[in-house]
Amino acid sequence: MPLRLLLGPQRPIVNLDSAVARSGIGDGPIGVISAAWQEAEGDIDDVQRLVLNPLFDLRIYERTEELFAADKRLHEAYRLRQDRLKEQQRLYRMRLRHLMVAARQTLRTEGEPAVVAAERRHAISQLRALDRHHLGQIEKVHARFDSVFTADSHALLSEYTAAIEDELSRFKTVLITGGNVVVLMNRLRLFGLDRLLQRKNIIAWSAGAMVLCDHIVLFHDRMPQGRRDPEIVDEGMGLLPSIVLLPDAKGRLRAKDLVRVKLLSRRFAPASCMTLDNGSLLLFESETLRDSEAAKRITRNGSFKRVRAA
């Protein structure tokens, strides 16, 4: 069964080396996907110094740039897709803001317990309905693009995908770094890596871990312009179902704002919201949790409980 080793932020590297050693992943070569670093892709010297396994960057970001430069039609279609996704996100955010305000107000308000509880449930169900709708719209945008640009029907894309698949076959384990989670997911999807990575052991931190979930939830309560409401930005690879991963939660979440935290947990239930802070570790064997350290789960009451392996 493939292993999934998930870690918190590693800039600078905190526990990658010790976690890999303790995971039982073995000592073979590891393929690296550092596309989330964009122009800095492949800058893995500090990782290589600490991890004993030989590392080989798959240059997913660079390959995408090459492919776009060579295939203007694909590039234009990709841009168009991104524009549609941005527009979809803008409209979702517009509606989300109001539902979030309403849901927070119902969580704060007092009154006849049974009446208030019913309104809270409904407010949260409306949020979930919007999230579902948004995911459906995103899926449609992807489907439209994918129906035209499949690896089978598009020669150059097919060539690149085959080359990556060929390289990937050398590795039992793939390491996915943190970075820009949207860029990462887009690149993985373009080359069908969501399919190719299913049987691999995966070591991933931060953004790299987020893309393994069912969907990718962006969150940040400490932006310079103020807190933002958590929003679903895309589907993930679905390798870790029913988990929402929250890297650097200590830095990004206002954990003391009980209503916000509670709402986060209830909105995405039954999925479990888990933090991945500095030094955290979660090790799954397929979908079963085998080991954990310092990772926490947010309860429906907004408290943080240590995640424990069965």
Partner 1 sequence: MNPTLRKLLRKGTPEPVDIDALIGELDFPLVDGPDVTFVFRGTADEVYLRCWISGLDTAQPFQALPGTDLWATTIELPKGSRIEYKFEVIAGGARELILDPLNDVIAHDPFGSNSVCQGYGYVRPEWTLHDPLARVGSLQSLRVDSSVFQESREVQVYLPATFRSNRRYPLLIVHDGVDYLRYADLKAVLDNLTHRLEIPSIIAALIQSPDRLKEYGGDDRHAAFLVDDLLPFMNEAYPLLGGADARCLMGASFGGVAALHAAWRFPEQFGSLLLQSGSFAFSDLGRHRRGPVFDPVVRFMNEFREHPGRPADRIFMSCGMYESLIYENRSLVPHLQAQGMELRFEEARDAHNWENWRDRLRIGLSWLMPGPAWMVYE
| Integer angstrom CA distances of residue 168 from 41, 194, 215, 228 | 17, 12, 24, 38
Counting contacts by CB under 8 A, is residue 278 touching partner 1? no
Counting contacts by CB under 8 A, is residue 207 touching partner 1? yes
Stretch of 101-109, 188-196, 215-223, 235-243 lying at the interface with partner 1 (CB under 8 A) = 215-223
Peptide bond into 247 cis (omega under 30): no
Q: Which of 193, 159, 209, 166 is nearest to 10 (CA)?
A: 209
Counting contacts by CB under 8 A, is residue 220 touching partner 1? yes
Beta bridge partners of 159: none
Stretch of 216-224, 264-272, 282-290, 300-308 lying at the interface with partner 1 (CB under 8 A) = 216-224
Task: Figure out which of the listed residues 5, 6, 9, 35 binds partner 1, where binding follows CB under 8 A.
Answer: 9
Evaluate whether 131 touches 232 at the Cβ level (below 8 Å): yes
Q: What is the dihedral of CA 205, 264, 195, 308, to 10 degrees?
A: 60
Hey, which residues between 112 and 141 contact partner 1 (CB under 8 A)? none
Collapsing DSSP to helix, strand or coil, 183 comes out as helix
Distance CA 7, CA 282 (A): 7
Hey, which residues between 150 and 189 contact partner 1 (CB under 8 A)? 178-183
Counting contacts by CB under 8 A, is residue 10 touching partner 1? yes
CB of 213 to partner 1, least distance (A): 12
Counting contacts by CB under 8 A, is residue 11 touching partner 1? yes
Please list, in sequence order, all residues whose beta carbon lies within 8 angstroms of the beta carbon of residue 159, skipping any fewer than 6 positions away. Answer: none
Counting contacts by CB under 8 A, is residue 247 touching partner 1? yes
Counting contacts by CB under 8 A, is residue 93 touching partner 1? no
Where do contacts with partner 1 occur on this chain (CB under 8 A)?
A: 9-11, 36, 39, 65, 68-69, 75, 79, 90, 178-183, 206-207, 210, 218, 220, 223-226, 228, 233, 247-248
